[in-house]
Amino acid sequence: MRKLDVAQHEAGHAVVGVWLGMALRVVRVDPEAYPELDGYTHFRRTKTNALHYAIMCAAGPAADAIFARNEPDMWAPDFGLIKESGFSTKERRVLIDMATRYLRGPCRRAWESVTEELLHRDLTGGEIKALVAHGERIDE
């Protein structure tokens, strides 16, 4: 059974990353297919702007915080990637604030649509890109 909180978290990463121009491969939240992970968002490894990458990493925790789910232990992988990108703990708070502004602002509609779709199936980068760019509904 797919979980709403996992879908919101992963959709946050996916939508903000695509909004910032990152190349997304896939988003998965299927607990049966990937029992070791609640979910994951996989971007293509390219030379990415470190700030954009860090904001994308902060978007999952930002999505959780919007719904008053403060789970620092679960955010450890995201926080580790932010640290690897060269940002401090103090700067991490700013990155989460920036991601929150995207999720509440220009990415809100796509984030809601992607979350809803992830409750039914995993999505490709192209499907999410269409939602972010045009606000289109996904047709199976």
Q: How far apart are CA 82 and CA 134, in angstroms?
A: 29
List the structure tokens of 37.
Answer: 């992970």
Task: Let me know if 55 is exposed, middle or buried by CB neighbors in 10 A (0-12, 13-18, 19+).
Answer: buried
| Ranges of H-type helices in 73-124 | 76-84, 89-104, 108-118
Q: How far apart are CA 102 and CA 61, in angstroms?
A: 13
Does residue 51 register a pLDDT over 80? yes
Q: What is the DSSP letter of 27?
A: E
The pLDDT of residue 102 is 96
Does residue 47 register a pLDDT over 80? no
Does residue 140 register a pLDDT over 50? no
Mean pLDDT, residues 95-122 taken together: 95
Contacts of 73 (CB under 8 A, 6+ apart): none
Q: Please tell me the class of the 4-134 domain.
A: mainly alpha
* 26: enclosing H helix or E strand: strand 24-28
